[in-house]
Structure formats: structure tokens, C-alpha cells
Chain A
């Protein structure tokens, strides 16, 4: 693809023909703010928060404006800042953004822009529209319409990524509202709870049920791993709080999943911290399990295997390896059976 050169905020940067200004800027570490734009879905070009000055003249939305060779871009000047402030004030006055009561506090793109541009509390009191809060109908997703900025990220995500087409806009009179199906509660709609719309929602309008009471966003730490369920092998960022409890799972954009997850990968992780987990080796004595130390248990297993091998030969022992274990563990299991026990009796449930 043809390479192009742009001058963004006085810095010469490279991009590819066909990219928009925001794409070139972000690839080069220049952060142009956005609300409706999200790299994983098609462009909307509605919120105007990404307006930049092109070729020292007109203001253009960076998310849809094609980057052209030799273009000069200014991402922030006095006009742009006041424009952004004005847009943010409008958004704030229209909803109910009390961050204290919001699960997205600390993880909200609207909040960080408000802080970045020092937006003060809006003076004029706009009449607030009647909207819905739905914390109950879905087991995975909470919805607070007062925090919705109608950016359409969820609409596009459900249409283009999950492809379940749950979200849409309804226009009753002058009011545009976000609705699920034909205005159902989210838990009663066709939502399959992949949770992707929540992942991309820039505000607290959509949040996960799992996060409540699990600590503030800035206390969470994340580490990536691979989903334990099916063979797609989605890459997942797992978040845990200060107490070490898992809080949420977000799709990682570098995996084969391009950031997407299904309901299992999204919500099926708490079994790891279930109190029913085995925590000590168990040895059955007189028909009942008794807790044992690792040394006792391992010594017993090794002695039994050795005894049975001695008495009946290596082929009297078999192992079930596991499609849920790592490559290293499977390698070691077959090596153990072949090199230590002396049999090829090792299989796993590939066929099941």
C-alpha cells in the first residue's frame, strides 16, 4: 500500500493511503480524542469531538477525513478546545453523569475528556428526558440510559462484530433513543450476552453485572491469557482487584478474536475462584476421602504405579491427558507414560 507523509502538530508522520487522519495519528502515538469512533467498527462521524484543523483552514472530523499525502493537521488549538468543551457540556447537560454512582468511574472516555478539557458544571438546567435504568433484566449486563451519549458504538458492534443486531435507534418525535430489539428490556431481547457492546461503550451506559462491589477501576490490574473454552483461542484480558478477585474479562485486540468474546469467555471465569475448588490432595481410606500432604500423596501414587508396573507390566497403566492443559503439560504427560511407565497408553478427549 502506498505510503504517505503528514505533518501532525508539527511532527512528520507516516501513514498509508486509505487511512483516515485519526488512524494515522493513533498509529503514531498522537491521541486525537474520539467518542463515536472505535477502531473495531465502521465509522460514524457523528460526535464531532475529533474535529481537527486541516491545512490550517477548515475543521474536519478526523475519524472520517481521509489522510492525504502532504496534509497538515493541527489536533488542538483554541477554537478546537472551545468546540470540544461545548460538545462535552451539551452531552453532560443532557444526561445524568454522577460519577460517584457509576461503575464506569475511572474507565470512562467521557469522564476523561471532561477532565482533560476542564469542563465545569453546566449552568443552564436543561429539562431532563425520561429514560430507563435496567439493572435487573440481564444477568450479565446493566444499562443506564441517562449515561448514554448516543454514540452508536454498541449499535455497530452488535451489528458488525457479534452480528446479533440487538441495538438500534428509535425516533419518537424529536427524541432519539437507544433501544434493544423493538424496545425490549436487554435481558428479554435477542441479546446472547457476548458483552461486546459493554466493552466498547465509552461511558457507564452499559456495564457488566460482575463489577459491582469489586473495587474501583483504577485499583484493577490486568493480565492477558487465552480463553479456556473452545478452540478459537480468544485472547482475553482478565482484570482483578486489590483483593485478588477476578472482576471482568475483556477481549484482547491482538488475539485471533480481534477483541471479541462470547458469553463463555466473557462471563465463565469465576469457577476458578469457586470455594468448591480442590485445595488439598485427597487419599481415599476405607471408602472416604481424607486430606493428605503432597508428599504423602505423591509417594503413594509413585509407589502404586511402580508396584502395578512391576506386577502386571507397563501396559497395565494408562493416562488420560487433557485438551484443557497446556502444550507443556501434555508433552510431559506423554513423556511420563512413555519414558517412565513404558507404555503408549496415553490419550485425551480429542474425540469426545
Chain B
């Protein structure tokens, strides 16, 4: 997030797009509800499904999955046409406005409504006018923006809108991605990415290479960007990748196109899985290493607002489970590395020296202070919101972006759109929540949401077990009839191994950031013959 959770009361309104906040980030969802319902703040929601927040929205747009760019362009079209954008901000703090304006010309409400499948085109100008009045408005998004082949462009479009409205670099504004996992932010910050060292320092850069060689006392660090997860599995099937070391990940459940992942794991010469349970992925491993669960650990995590927080050890390790850092270090030492870490703080002290945005953060400080990176020095208070007075590149760059359709269109054979996501009671691949008694009892099995129209067309009853197929596979699952998805759209949570959504999903990737298109693939449904 560019801004902070505690700024929610400072916003005059909120634009939530592609985030079912009350289920996936419930505590923030509640804060937004409190602002809207109890304090009269405004709310605009864009989502393919009716979600709780859409009920409280001043304007709600139920778009076809994968058409975010069109509607964002539609709002901006009005802002420019009616001269409602923040001219001072655009003039002094941005560049690229002319190209943007040109691209936006054709995104009239009618054109947008056509692409997005909306029946309320007249609300687009109204919502845009409301946005222009909200000083400041905060924009929140989540996987409903990123999990598309157009993910990077979706993100840039949200930034275009907020710059046009002058909502960047002010408290209560900003572009605020809600991170789906407790330390996605930190894992990225720490360089668990194929293209960058800690603090997003590119690996394909001689200076960075030299810097890390010196810091780590090694020679010959590779300057060649590595493989992303989905590319790893392709390389395994292609025979270039021979071994995978998996820590706390469950790609069999979490990655798109499950059959393909299993084929890849089976093709590997050697697979090590380090986890707390014998997960679906661990079944394919040659060696399984039991690691400590979060309550058995000490260390730091960074939340969605860049706040670095301490985790304390609540419980002793289960059985012979060990800390993940200890296991990595033991393997490294056996391979000749001269590593000497006695405790997590030793590692943190080292990472501070190579991660400029964390340089001023210490274990001692975060016990007492609320610190958000960037925090370059130990007397720096941290950064509540980014882009104050200037963007990291200087001027904010507008990127003119045209709508592009999802990778897979519907056709006669696969006429419906499947979109996937999470539900309140469960999390990700279910490894943790499905092993938590209360949560598993609350929602013990998977389901697919289907619109009453479609249900009657296919003669499907509520709770009937049906078959769903895509070009990649087919599963059986209970149908729940509800108005939440629009006709011809199905929604399915991916937490349940018995009915794994990712048997169906497509592994088409965004060309720039390689995120798979979970949020839309084509499928068909069938009654199961008795």
C-alpha cells in the first residue's frame, strides 16, 4: 500500500476494485464499512460478483471478469471530458497526460458498458463525478486486479486514475493493494523474487552484483534473472530444471492447471519439501523436512502497509520440527557455506545492511515503535505514506493502456466464465484453515456459485453435485445457487483439495510479471447422469 491502514478515517471516500475486502481482508473491510455506514463516507465498488461491500456502495458496477481496464478507462474518460481531473497535480507532478487522454477518447460509457457487460452505463459518469469530489479518495484493490494476463496493466490503470484525481502522496489517498498473505510484502522486500535482490535491486545489474558479492563474501553471482514459479514447472517438464527446494508452498493446490504441476513434480530428479504438514505437494517429495509453525517462531513480517512487526515465539516446536532459517543454514553449511547465525536477529542485522529500506529498523525499535519502510536510518520514523512531493522516478508517469480481452474466450464448447477466489472462513490452499477445527466445521466442503438463470437453464438444483470442465480438466462439485455471480459466470473458492479449482484454471501468464490468470477461464457445466 502507498498509504496506511490508520488513514482510513482520513479518506472522504473509497474506490474498491477487485477486492472482496470483508472476506479476504476482513479487519480492513470492517474499517471501511465503519467509515461508510457509520460515518457517511462514500463508496464505489467494481467487482464481477455481488460482494458485501457492493451492498453499501453509492455506485456498484458488476463487470464481466477481466474487464477492469475498460471501466477504469471509462471513469478517466469522463474526468477528462468534463474537466474534472486535478489539473494542478497533473501539471506539476506527472507526465504522459496527452497520450493517456488520446487513448481514453473512445472509452465512452456506452463503449465501456458493452465491454464490461453493464446495464448501468449512466452510472459511469455519475461515479466519476463523485470520485472527483472526494478529497481524498483511497483506492483499494487485490487479486481481482492482479490475477489476469493483463495484471500489470490493470495495476498501472489504477495508478493512472489516482494520479488523475490527485490522490497520490496525500494521507487518506493512494493506490493500495491488499496483500493476500501475511508476509507477501516481506518476501518480496527480501528478494524472494527471480529478478531482484532485497529491496528490489535488480539482479541483472553489475553494480548490484558486485555489492552483494562483497556483502556475502562470494564470487560469480548470477546476473541472469531466474524463473518464476509457473516457468519453473514448465522447465521441469522441459527437462532443464532438475531439483526444487520448496519451503512452505503448496503448488499442487495453489498453482493453475494442477495436472500440469503434478506432471512437472514427477519429472524432477529431486524434490525437497519443507512444511508443517504432509501437503498435497509433499506427497511428491523425495525428502520432507518438518518446519516450525508460525507460533513456534521468532522473526519479523511486513504487512500490506509496509509495517514491519515482530513475531514472538508462543509455543515450543512440535516434535522435531525446526525453524526454516535453521534448516536452510544447515543445508548451506553442508554445501560449504561459512554461515554462522545463532538466532533470527543475527539474520535481521545482516539483511538491514543490504536492504536500504530496512536499514533503520531494529528488533529493539519495532518492539516499541510503529515503523513502516522505507526507514533508512535508526533515527528515521519510517514512512506512513509514499510519493509525498515526488514519485520515486521524479514525475508520475501516466501509461496509456487499452483494454485487452482475457487469454481464453468463451465458445460453444466452453460457454461459461469461471472465476476463483477465497472465502472468509478459509485461506489459500487450506493447509492451515482446514486443519483448524472450527473453521473447517464452518465450511467443510467446496462449492461453486451459480446464478439462478444458469441453474434453471441447466436444470440444476441447489446443492446438486455437478461437473465442471475446462480445457485442462474436470471436477465434481456442489452447486450453490445465488445471485452473487452474474449469469454465465461461476465462482469457486480454491481451498478444497477434494474439489480443486486449479484443476480447471489456465496457466496463461501476464507477459511482464508472470502472474497466472486465475480470475478468468472458460468452462462448461453438466449435470451428472444418475
Q: Tell me the A residues contacting B by CB distance below 8 Å.
A: 139-140, 159-163, 192-194, 209-210, 223-235, 238, 240, 244, 246, 255-257, 260-265, 267-274, 276-284, 289, 294, 297-306, 308, 312, 314-340, 342-352
Contacts and interface: CB of A to CB of B under 8 A. Distances in A.
Interface stretch (B114-122, B304-312, B401-409): B304-312
Given A256-B307, A323-B180, A331-B191, 10 more contacts: A194-B30, A228-B182, A230-B304, A268-B436, A279-B321, A312-B242, A325-B187, A326-B301, A349-B251, A350-B184
B397 interface: no
Interface stretch (B104-112, B272-280, B385-393, B474-482): B272-280
B419 to A, nearest CB: 15
A352 B351 contact: no
Contacts of A351: 146-147, 151, 228-229, 513-516
Contacts of A271: 276, 293, 431-433, 435-436
B305 A319 contact: no
Contacts of B332: 336, 340
Contact of B189 (A270, A312, A327, A332): A327
Count chain B CB atoms within 10 A of each CB in A231, A256, A300, A346 and give the residue with the most. Answer: A231
A321 B328 CA distance: 11
A179 to B, nearest CB: 20
B277 A244 contact: no
B6 A256 contact: yes
Contact of A332 (B180, B347, B432): B347
Contacts of A303: 334
Contacts of B272: 301
A340 B337 contact: yes
Given A272-B293, A346-B192, A347-B193, A289 B270 contact: no
B170 interface: no
A226 B182 contact: yes
Contacts of B431: 271
Contact of A231 (B179, B203, B296): B179
B528 interface: no
Contacts of A279: 290, 318-321
Contacts of B513: 351
Interface residues on B, range: 35 or more
Interface in B238-282: 240-249, 251, 254-255, 269-270, 272, 275-278
B247 A349 contact: no
B229 A320 contact: yes
Nearest to A335: B216
Contacts of B347: 328, 331-332
Interface stretch (B86-94, B157-165, B217-225): B217-225
A294 B287 CA distance: 11
A225 B313 CA distance: 7
Contacts of A246: 295, 314-315
Given A282-B287, A298-B331, A347 B243 contact: no
Contacts of B34: 160-161, 163
Count chain A CB atoms within 10 A of each CB in B247, B313, B332, B426 and give the residue with the most. Answer: B247
Contacts of A192: 26, 424
Contacts of B295: 225, 238, 246, 269, 272
B247 to A, nearest CB: 5
Contacts of A330: 183, 186-187, 190-192
A161 B203 CA distance: 44
A284 B285 contact: yes
30 contacts: A161-B34, A194-B26, A223-B313, A226-B294, A229-B427, A238-B314, A264-B439, A270-B437, A271-B431, A272-B293, A272-B315, A279-B319, A283-B288, A297-B289, A298-B331, A301-B331, A315-B226, A316-B240, A326-B297, A326-B324, A326-B344, A327-B186, A331-B198, A333-B324, A333-B328, A334-B190, A336-B328, A336-B331, A345-B232, A351-B515
A72 to B, nearest CB: 34
B192 A347 contact: yes
Given A298-B330, A347-B192, A308 B242 contact: yes
Name the prevailing secondary structure of the B interface residues.
mixed
A278 B290 contact: yes
Nearest to B151: A351
B299 interface: yes
Given A338-B212, A339-B216, A320 B246 contact: yes
Contact of B243 (A223, A261, A300, A317): A317
Nearest to B438: A267
Interface of B: 5-6, 24-28, 30, 33-34, 37-38, 146-147, 151, 178-195, 197-198, 203, 212, 216, 218, 220-222, 224-229, 232, 235, 240-249, 251, 254-255, 269-270, 272, 275-278, 285-291, 293-297, 299-305, 307-316, 318-325, 327-332, 334-337, 341, 344, 347-348, 350-351, 355, 358, 424-427, 431-433, 435-439, 441-442, 513-516, 518
Contacts of B37: 163
A314 B187 contact: no
B233 to A, nearest CB: 9
A210 B436 CA distance: 12
B146 A240 contact: no
A227 B179 CA distance: 13
Given A278-B275, A342-B220, A231 B303 contact: yes
B373 to A, nearest CB: 11
* Nearest 8 Cβ contacts at the A-B interface: A279-B319, A233-B303, A231-B179, A326-B299, A344-B226, A262-B26, A322-B248, A302-B334
B182 A350 contact: no
A329 B147 CA distance: 26
Contacts of A161: 30, 34
Contact of B26 (A159, A263, A338): A263
Contact of A304 (B243, B321, B442): B243
A325 B324 contact: yes
Contacts of B38: 159-160, 163
B281 to A, nearest CB: 9
Given A161-B30, A263-B425, A305 B433 contact: no
Contacts of B146: 351
Contact of A349 (B254, B305, B351): B254
A227 B289 contact: no
Contacts of A348: 184, 187, 192-193, 229, 249
Contacts of A274: 277, 435
B334 A298 contact: yes
A299 B436 CA distance: 34
A59 to B, nearest CB: 31
A301 B287 contact: yes
Count chain B CB atoms within 10 A of each CB in A224, A276, A318, A340 and give the residue with the most. Answer: A318
B224 A315 contact: yes
Count chain A CB atoms within 10 A of each CB in B224, B314, B350, B439 and give the residue with the most. Answer: B314
Count chain A CB atoms within 10 A of each CB in B301, B427, B436 and give the residue with the most. Answer: B301
Given A231-B303, A317-B243, A320-B249, A268 B433 contact: yes
B300 A325 contact: no
Contact of B335 (A209, A257, A302, A352): A302
Nearest to A193: B442
